[in-house]
Structure 1
Amino acid sequence: MTATRVRLVRLRTALLALTLAVLVVSLWAFQNVQNTAETVRDRTAHAVLEVTAARAALVAADAAAIASFASGEAKLAGPGQEYSNQLALASQSLARVAEFNQAGEEGGNALQVIESQVAAYSGSIGQADVHFRQPDAAVLGAVDLWHASRLLHAPGGVLEELDLLQGRQREALNRQLTSTGMSLAMLPLWLLPVLALLVLLVFTQLYLRKRFRRVANVPLLAATVLIAAIGVALVFTLVSRDRLDSVGERLDGVAAARAAQIKAADEDGQRRLAELLTGYCDEEQGCGVTVDGFRELARQAGTPATDNTRVATAGARAVAADASAAAESGGREFLIPAGTLLAGGLVLLGLHARIDEYRYRP
């Protein structure tokens, strides 16, 4: 076997080995990022958003019920249609959280506790409705309303549990983003096999041009173009991974807007509740230390002037748009394997004739 044939065989082996490395690394990178992006788009982002929606709906339901009882409308219409609508929205959001839950068993257990507390809250509101309709039981109705509101607001209540659950879902998103091991800072590392293969392809073509006096080796030139396209596809894959970080940032923005929205609605409802309770308290002894402390806090609270509903809604739409953009594959799931395998075939084709020329030479 001549030295030229040995060199050509070694070049072919090295080219095929690097082509295999490009295939493995590129597919691993794409599948890792794509799976994470699809999970974020289809489940995790929804889980975070639905928890915030459930909190907002429960606070709105509580404020609506208090307003109905405080105005006297409850004697005719009970807690009111707005209360029923918001409570139904909260139940729907909790059902979606259970469907999209990414916090594992811990999140599932928290949801069970929350759902039982919401059921107890609804029962207390229903009991308050019954008592307020009875002329001699309005005080009991006020007690039931107070108890219902405490089920939401007390330490360990529904709102605190939902806040903790929201944090767990957000932590799940952070774990998903960091588990990919992919970022633009890692781009040179993941492009290393592609760059090495491109360099070796160019070197091989220059060697063949010098050794065989040919202008160009068309199969190897086509393989070079395909591998360059694989490199571009990998760059776009990593860019889409980087977009997932913006999903997390936008989710935090939605959560902040929702928190401001919840705070405004909650303070308004709690002030109304404090005013309602005042009418049933003893003028000399008050309502007791706990209720009196609550009334003082409710009077001191200030309601923000900004309406954050529009901000939260726009932010939720932006989250969906960013998550969808990050999960858009652009056909890379076909380009990467097909292009790499085709490049390997072109390498074999491009070197076969040259190696075959030296098969029987001494």
Structure 2
Amino acid sequence: MTLRTRQALVRIRAVLLAGTVLALVTSSLAVSGVVRTADQISSATSRAILEVAAARDALVSADAAAIASFASGEAKLAGPGQEYENRMASASQSLARVAEFNQAGDPGAGTLQTVEGLVASYSGAMSQADAHFRQPGAELVGLADLWYASRLLHAPDNVLELLGKLQKDERSALDRQISGTRMSAGLLVLWLLPPIVLLTLLVATQVFLRQRFRRRLNLPLLGATVLGLGVVAGLLVAFALAGRLDTVRGSVDQAVAVRERSIEAADAGGHARLATLLQQRCGPPGCGSTVDDFRRQLPTTSTAAPAQNAITSAARAVTSAGTEATESGGLPVLVPAALILAGGLVVAGLYRRIDEYRYRP
């Protein structure tokens, strides 16, 4: 009887420890996966998307500013203008940040390299336009350079279209990251199953010890049970954190939508000025069918540009949502620590009973 009791206690300890290890592995993976993805989205993916949109906005605004300078005649004194220079510097900074935060993999990096090369060509063409506009009698050549520079941004398979594709790729990466860590109801049950099984085993062990040794409660095992309940609570918090990633995605989409309105407004203004400049400089013969098609495709209605504080507020909303999504309360440390401590309490709770039977004749 004594030997059988000791063997039963040893088996119970082994089963409880195995359950603890299983809960430790699965719960740690679940929590760390959600928190790691939230950190990645907050610190990289969302920023990559916003920086691509910012780069597009800066390039379109730079182009519009340069066209306005040439159209007004200021280019003969100041070239494309200070606004153009500022916007190009902003675009360069945004592209550098996109390279830093890129989540679209090697295809995204390749697209970015192509864009950087085209932007350099655009800047060179704009410098040529400036040089020719300053030379008496070379205005038409400068106008051709200006047209070519603008086409480097706007023509199919050029800068803006490539950046639009990159932005979609970064957005797809965001969707994949959220989908990969989404805790559906079924998946949540799957993650909760090991700690719930562990809790069931701990309660069953308490019942066994009470029946066999006439003791009401084993305090170390009670402590392990409380820690197991804490792990279940931690998994539920992780489930809530995963849900907050949808809020981050929504705030990113809203911030991009605000940028799109700014891009459309700057683009419409720049195109309208360029069309007017072409009409004035080319005269009655016109500048060819390509320019005629360009003028016919100009939008008939203008888009109101959002205020700068609206763009700033939308970007801050993304940062705020990302910060909230990463506030895990130390779950990646607390959950495994709780289960390791629970394992130690299991050993401590059964040690005395097993030790008693070891020396009993």
Distance between the aligned counterparts of 1:339 and 1:151, measured in 2? 59
C-alpha separation in 2, matches of 1:111 and 1:29: 34
State the partner residue of 1:31: 32
More displaced 10-residue stretch of structure 1: 201-210 or 289-298: 201-210
Query: CA separation in 2, counterparts of 1:138 and 1:351?
Result: 93
- Would the aligned equivalents of 2:258 and 2:310 in 1 still touch at CA under 8 Å? yes
In the alignment, the residues of structure 1 paired with residue 67 and residue 97 of structure 2 have an alpha-carbon distance, to the nearest angstrom, of: 27
Q: 2:244 is matched by which residue type in structure 1?
A: R
Report the equivalent of 1:235.
236
**More deviation, 56-65/67-76:** 67-76
The Cα of 1:55 is off from its aligned counterpart by 0.1
One-letter code aligned to 1:345: G
Q: What's the secondary structure of 1:79's corresponding residue?
A: coil
User: Could you tell me how far 1:329 is from its partner in structure 2?
Assistant: 3.4
Taking the aligned partners of 1:18 and 1:357, their CA distance within structure 2 comes to: 25
Deviation at 1:128, TM superposition (A): 1.2
Give 1:296 shift. 2.1
TM-score scaled by length of structure 2: 0.94
**Could you say what secondary structure the match of 2:297 adopts?**
helix
Q: 1:290: Cα distance to partner?
A: 0.9
**Secondary structure of 1:279's match?**
helix
Cα distance in 1 for residues equivalent to 2:304 and 2:340: 61
**Worse overlay, 349-358 or 92-101:** 349-358
Deviations 1:222-251 (A, max 9, x none): 111111111212222232222222222222
Paired residue secondary structure (1:280): helix
Deviation string 1:264-307 (CA, Å, 9 cap, x unpaired) is 11001100110111101231x32211101111222x43212362
**So what's the TM-score if we normalise by structure 1?**
0.93
1:303 lines up with 2:306 in the alignment: no
TM-aligned CA distance change 1:246 to 1:181, over 3 Å: closer
Give the structure 2 partner of residue 270 of structure 1: 271
> How big is the shift at 1:119?
0.9
- Take 1:117 and 1:263, find their aligned partners in 2: how far apart are those partners? 21
Unmatched segments (≥5 aa) in structure 2: none
1:179 alignment counterpart: 180
Answer yes or no: is the 8 Å Cα contact 2:125–2:149 preserved in 1. Answer: yes
Task: Identify the residue that residue 54 of structure 2 maps to in structure 1.
Answer: 53
Please give the alpha-carbon distance, in whole angstroms, between the structure 2 residues aligned to 1:81 and 1:327.
40
* Contact map agreement 1:59 1:265 (CA 8 A) in 2: yes
Partner of 1:337: 336
Deviates more, 1:118-127 or 1:323-332: 323-332
Going from structure 1 to structure 2, the CA distance change for 1:18 and 1:249 (only over 3 Å counts) comes to same
SS of equivalent residue, structure 1 residue 359: helix
Stretch deviating more after TM superposition (181-190 or 271-280): 181-190
- TM-superposed CA distance for 1:183, in Å, is 4.1
Which residue number corresponds to residue 315 of structure 1? 314
In 2: Cα distance, 1:116 partner to 1:357 partner: 78
Residues 240, 327 of structure 1: 8 Å contact kept? yes
> Which secondary structure does the structure 1 equivalent of 2:211 belong to?
helix
Q: Which amino acid is 1:321 matched to?
A: S
Cα-Cα RMSD: 1.9
| Residue pair 2:182, 2:242 contacting (<8 A) in 1 also | no
Residue 296 of structure 1 aligns to which amino acid in structure 2?
A: R
Q: How many residues align?
A: 360
Aligned position for 1:219: 220
4+ residue stretches of structure 1 with deviation over 4 A? none
Per-residue CA deviation, residues 172-228 of structure 1 (Å, 9 max, x unaligned), is 222222333644552111010111111111222123223322222111111111111
Shift of 1:169: 1.3
1:111-122 matches, within 5 Å, as 111-122=112-123
Contact kept, 8 Å, 2:220 with 2:346, in 1: the verdict is yes
* 8 Å Cα contact 1:44/1:101 also seen in 2: yes
In the superposition, relative to structure 1, how do residues 75 and 302 fare at CA in structure 2: closer, same or farther (>3 Å)?
A: same
